[in-house]
Chains A and B, each alone.
Chain A
């Protein structure tokens, strides 16, 4: 059974760094793109970026390029989304998904950035 299990909710202050995770199981992690989708409070879905675990080829939405970093650790089948300096506008739910038609999704990680 394919599963994507995300790390827990985070509450941070503006300017702080953060790295959230998405652990995959039940399929060959290195041979499917995996990525992230943002959902701001009460809003729709936005594509953040994707990574191909086999070679770490990474693609970002122009809206998120330079704002976040996506990475993987193949040894533990885990993808990451990180920020070096959070802003209040990063407050949102972040979903990871297997980008083979986005057929499997994680449960979401809620990130709250507030002073």
Chain B
């Protein structure tokens, strides 16, 4: 099984400040086709998860450009350039190279 490890697990951020979440996998998520099989999701309070980033760095349709994903292989990062109140929730990374595994989640809250 591929294990996904996120850090930090809790992230207090002031509005307008940047935020960064790390996700590490127990084995490389880089396929021979050149794609990283790593997505990011946000679950806002009381809502279903929503796709933010796919293939490591591609923003999903309708996702604000303050969200960006980077990384390759085993180390990935989700960055929010300027946090807004609506960004509060739990962020999950997920690998889809071998079955599907989610990270533990990172709870972003406003300071």
Contacts and interface: CB of A to CB of B under 8 A. Distances in A.
Contact of B92 (A45, A97, A105, A108): A45
A52 interface: no
Nearest to B101: A47
Given A47-B99, A47-B100, A61-B99, A101 B105 contact: no
Contacts, number: 47
Contacts of B48: 95, 105-108
B109 to A, nearest CB: 16
Nearest to A98: B51
A108 B49 CA distance: 10
A103 B51 contact: yes
B104 interface: yes
B102 A105 contact: no
Interface in A21-55: 37, 44-47
Contacts of B51: 101-103
Interface residues of B, number: 22
Given A102-B51, A103-B51, A46 B60 contact: no
Contact of A46 (B50, B54, B102): B102
Contact of A105 (B50, B99, B103): B50
A44 B102 contact: yes
Interface string A70-82: 0000000000000
B102 A47 contact: yes
A99 B39 CA distance: 12
A42 to B, nearest CB: 11
A59 interface: yes
B101 A44 contact: no
12 contacts: A44-B90, A44-B103, A45-B92, A46-B102, A47-B101, A47-B102, A61-B99, A61-B100, A95-B49, A102-B49, A105-B48, A108-B48
